[in-house]
Amino acid sequence: MDITIRTVNDRWKLFTLTNDNGMEVQFLNYGGIITKILVPDKNQNKKNIVLGYADYKDYESDPNFLGAVIGPVAGRIKEAEFTLKNKNFGLEQNDGNHHLHGGSNAFHRVIWETETIKTDDKAGVTLSYVRKDGENGYPGNATVAVTYTLTNKNQLMIDYEATTDETTPITLTNHSYFNLTGDTNNTVHTHQLMVDSHQFLELNSGLIPTGKIIDATDSLFDFREGRELKNGMVAGSEQNKIVGNGYDHYFLFDHTKEKNVIVRDKNSGRVLTIETDQPGMVLYTGQNIVKGLELDGGSSKKYSGVCFETQSSPASLHHEGLPMIILNPSEIYKKQTTFSFYVE
């Protein structure tokens, strides 16, 4: 196990975690941004399987949130406002009339404090940040920690922890775009996906959940037996079309299978499995990726990566019966998501 640290500029540092198998995970203290995950294919060719910029400076103006820590609230908040204890809180409208991913200068834009961790079978870094009361419109001083850990089992574990001195909404995630082919010239259309879920949240034309939970059984949103992503991209349902031909929906996990998510790329043989204690995830197939950005390995285009944003639902601020995101001063927000890689 190894940890190396390289200075990118006067404020940014690039951390590289390497395990005994040669798997690598690279990330910045800026935004906690994962820039590369290098894993082998069935022929032992090691390639980067997440989207990242060729020039690190592009992360400062990134419209796609590539690889970043998202918070304090991942996802969209309707009309950029919410009410807590009979008090209304107004947020930045950075997605039409709505509030997206904590605001334009949220956790994906801050410099995180770092502390390294290393043992015989794992290497990691804890990133920490104190969100001040009123920052981006959110109440409470919140102390947040995100730990990236690489193991010799080719697992990337992401642990999230937060406390607050005032009741506040918090749900954190990572916004990495995966492309298991290892080639940005390829899209994720043929990625085979299994999701342990039979329910998802309906969206309106503004991509805001209506509060209605839809049964996915026998639809293009039923991934329990596995299906290719292209099914919902090429000739999708109205819900697929409303997001621009693809998926940008919150799936509620059934938590009935050992793995919450399994992703396969048949050509490379790479397989990604995801295990989490989060109640669900947003599946986003990258249909809104800005075209022509210079990425590591090629130029960006629609569908060049897919996100698995494990989290609770910000729609719970406006609708009952959904996974809550409220954290009280007496509580500790503590969640874990593990990404495991192998070949078949």
How far apart CA 281 and CA 200 sit, in angstroms, is 9
Helix (H) or strand (E) holding 238: helix 238-242
SS3 (DSSP) at 257:
coil
The amino acid at residue 114 is T
How far apart CA 37 and CA 25 sit, in angstroms, is 5
- Among 108, 135, 249, 309, the active-site one is 309
- Those residues whose C-beta lies under 8 Å from the C-beta of residue 330, and which sit 6 or more positions away, are none
How far apart CA 232 and CA 210 sit, in angstroms, is 20
Under a CB-based contact definition with an 8 Å cutoff, are residues 222 and 232 in contact? no
Q: Is 60 a catalytic residue?
A: no
- Among 98, 99, 175, 249, the active-site one is 175
How far apart CA 157 and CA 284 sit, in angstroms, is 21
How far apart CA 250 and CA 293 sit, in angstroms, is 27
Among residues 20, 341, 324, 43, which one has the least CA distance to residue 176?
341
How far apart CA 208 and CA 215 sit, in angstroms, is 18
How far apart CA 81 and CA 98 sit, in angstroms, is 8
Q: Is 24 a catalytic residue?
A: no
The amino acid at residue 135 is E
Active site residues: 175, 309
